[in-house]
């Protein structure tokens, strides 16, 4: 059957080369537990978790090893069974350090799988929220907002729709695609739980049309789930940005500076919904995540379920390592918004959606040239900004003018920098401008 009614947001956006063919047909592989993990204490928005174990403690897989600090925070659990080797500071890419708990695997006491109880009626709202919090569920699309907070909207806010973000608009990444195909029961269940928790009547799973098989399958399966719809979206970057997702699906525009709840909507990532379902129904903690390991420079591009804290170099090795004679860059996340790292001993965290090995030839490192005022940046900007103007002001120290023309409105999606024929690093300049403006405003 043909896919009817494909929606999209009206202005801006860009078609990127997808490169998803490398992994879109691959079922999720489960990576065996690594010998050691480094689990950061701050994988989420908000205050870092506080460790509740010390060096030398023996921990089981799924055991809580750090507790929430304050309201906006999340629990951290061990992803393997073993001994706590240390609680250390490590360098981040760029500036700063992060704290993490090092655990070394031992073969003792392999934790048995949690008993799967049959899924019955939806539990009470309070139970849902409690279990989500206990499981340490955070937004797995990359931002890492503590989910239990999202499931408890402030008094006075009425949520009418929950949207599951199945857009996955970044090139290379196919995590959500595979989860939609393989874990749709968990997904639908998770969606129902979210709906109950926030009090919404409607649930929509939004999927870009480059995942036709997922759309068709879910449209079929959703027939059994009244109150859940599947909505097809045009393949366009950045459909995955939640404000643009809402605009496309419901044609509601989240006002500047506000959150989706301002338009009575809650948005969740596919994998988050899956984790919610497992957390609530089986009290399963978040100890692993599925991510796409891909890139033209990788031997075996795959979708892999990886224990949290696994070092990136081990993940790459699991996928066959880099191709011979290939010069490459490692991107954590997607190639548009991900981070370029040079330290392969960084760990996988709850928000790591992908590891991409981009060949040096593909990598964007062309020389920066003059702005020829072609206006492409303005055409593709989903926030309707003119990046060339913003950057002109930032680069000349005119921060207030830059603010006037939308410096703070930029969602840093990178569409403008991608399309710029003069290869100007617009997003980097905007990030710098924002930082400078924050410093000035303090």
365 makes contact with another protein (CB under 8 A): yes
| Binding region for another protein (CB under 8 A) out of 40-48, 78-86, 144-152, 401-409 | 401-409
Q: Which of 171, 260, 307, 322 binds another protein (CB under 8 A)?
A: 171
Taking residue 143's Cβ as centre, other Cβ atoms within 10 Å add up to 12
Choosing from 136, 144, 240, 414, the residue that interacts with another protein (CB under 8 A) is 414
User: Which range, of 228-236, 255-263, 305-313, 320-328, touches another protein by CB under 8 A?
Assistant: 255-263
Q: Which one of 71-79, 109-117, 201-209, 359-367 is the stretch in contact with another protein (CB under 8 A)? A: 359-367
| Dist. CA 24–CA 43, nearest whole Å | 27
Q: Which long-range contacts (CB under 8 A, 24 or more apart) does 155-158 make?
A: 157/261, 157/264, 158/199, 158/264
Is 82:58 a contact under the CB 8 Å cutoff? Answer: yes
Give the separation between CA 424 and CA 290, rounded to whole angstroms. 34
* Nearest distance, CB of residue 93 and another protein, angstroms: 5
Q: Does 258 bind another protein (CB under 8 A)?
A: yes
**Site size toward another protein, by CB under 8 A:** 66
Q: Are the beta carbons of 48 and 76 closer than 8 angstroms?
A: no
Asked if residue 173 binds another protein (CB under 8 A), the reply is: no
Q: What residues have CB less than 8 Å from 387, skipping those under 6 apart?
A: 377, 378, 381, 410, 416, 417, 426, 430
Rounded least distance, CB 35 to another protein, Å: 26
* DSSP category for residue 360: T
Q: Among 379, 398, 436, 437, which residue sits at the site for another protein (rule: CB under 8 A)?
A: 379
**Interface with another protein includes 335 (CB under 8 A)?**
yes
> Which residue number, 252 or 305, has a Cβ lying nearer to another protein?
252
Q: In which residue are the tokens 């409690």 written?
A: 130
Is there binding between residue 143 and another protein (CB under 8 A)? Answer: no
- 17: number of Cβ within 10 Å: 10
Taking CB under 8 A as the binding criterion, the range among 9-17, 100-108, 116-124, 179-187 that sits at the site for another protein is 9-17
Backbone angles phi, psi at 241, to 5 degrees: -70, 125
Please state, in angstroms and rounded to a whole number, the distance separating the CA atoms of residues 365 and 355: 19
- Residue 347, SS3 per DSSP: strand
Strand, coil or helix: what is 40? strand
Per CB under 8 A, 21 contacts another protein: no
> In the numeric block, which tokens belong to residue 396?
């000349």
Q: Which stretch binds another protein (CB under 8 A): 41-49, 60-68, 127-135, 416-424?
A: 416-424
Residue 79 CB, nearest approach to another protein (Å): 26
Would you give the distance in Å from CA 429 to the centre of its chain? Answer: 23
224 versus 342: smaller Cβ distance to another protein = 342
- For another protein, the binding residue among 50, 63, 67, 253 (CB under 8 A) is 253
Q: How far is the CB of 231 from another protein (least distance, A)?
A: 20
- 224 phi/psi in degrees, rounded to 5: -80, -5
Contact residues toward another protein (CB under 8 A) are 11, 16-17, 93-95, 171, 243-244, 247, 253-258, 329, 331, 333-342, 358, 362-366, 369-376, 378-379, 382-386, 388-389, 405-406, 409, 414, 417-423, 425, 427-428, 431
């Amino acid at each position: 059957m043909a896919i009817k009614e494909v929606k999209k947001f009206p202005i801006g956006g860009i078609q990127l080369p997808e490169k998803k063919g490398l992994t879109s047909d691959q079922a999720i592989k489960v990576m065996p537990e690594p010998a050691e993990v480094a689990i950061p204490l701050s994988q989420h928005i908000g205050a870092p978790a506080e460790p509740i174990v010390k060096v030398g403690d023996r921990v089981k897989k799924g055991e809580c090893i750090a507790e929430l600090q304050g309201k906006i925070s999340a629990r951290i659990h061990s992803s393997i069974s073993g001994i706590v080797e240390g609680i250390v500071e490590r360098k981040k890419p760029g500036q700063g350090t992060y704290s993490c708990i090092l655990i070394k695997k031992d073969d003792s006491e392999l934790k048995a799988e949690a008993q799967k109880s049959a899924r019955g009626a939806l539990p009470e709202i309070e139970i849902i929220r409690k279990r989500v919090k206990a499981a340490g569920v955070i937004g797995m699309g990359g931002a890492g907002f503590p989910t239990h907070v999202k499931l408890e909207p402030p008094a006075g806010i009425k949520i009418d729709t929950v949207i599951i973000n199945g857009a996955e608009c970044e090139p290379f990444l196919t995590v959500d695609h595979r989860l939609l195909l393989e874990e749709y029961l968990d997904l639908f269940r998770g969606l129902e739980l979210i709906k109950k928790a926030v009090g919404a009547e409607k649930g929509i799973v939004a999927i870009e049309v480059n995942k036709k098989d997922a759309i068709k399958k879910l449209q079929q399966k959703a027939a059994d789930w009244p109150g859940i719809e599947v909505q097809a979206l045009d393949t366009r970057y950045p459909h995955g940005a939640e404000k643009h997702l809402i605009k496309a699906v419901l044609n509601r525009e989240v006002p500047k500076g506000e959150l989706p709840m301002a338009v009575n909507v809650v948005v969740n990532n596919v994998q988050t919904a899956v984790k919610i379902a497992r957390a609530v129904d089986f009290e399963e903690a978040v100890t692993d995540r599925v991510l796409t390991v891909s890139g033209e420079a990788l031997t075996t591009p795959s979708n892999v379920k990886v224990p949290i804290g696994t070092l990136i170099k081990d993940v790459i090795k699991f996928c066959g390592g880099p191709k011979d004679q290939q010069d490459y860059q490692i991107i954590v996340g997607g190639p548009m918004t991900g981070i370029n790292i040079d330290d392969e001993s960084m760990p996988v965290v709850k928000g790591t959606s992908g590891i991409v090995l981009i060949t040096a030839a593909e990598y964007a490192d062309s020389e920066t040239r003059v702005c020829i005022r072609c206006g492409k940046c303005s055409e593709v900007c989903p926030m309707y900004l003119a990046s060339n103007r913003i950057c002109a002001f930032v680069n000349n120290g005119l921060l207030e003018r830059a603010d006037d023309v939308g410096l703070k409105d930029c969602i840093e999606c990178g569409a403008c920098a991608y399309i710029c024929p003069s290869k100007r690093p617009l997003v980097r300049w905007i990030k710098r401008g924002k930082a400078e403006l924050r410093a000035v405003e303090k």
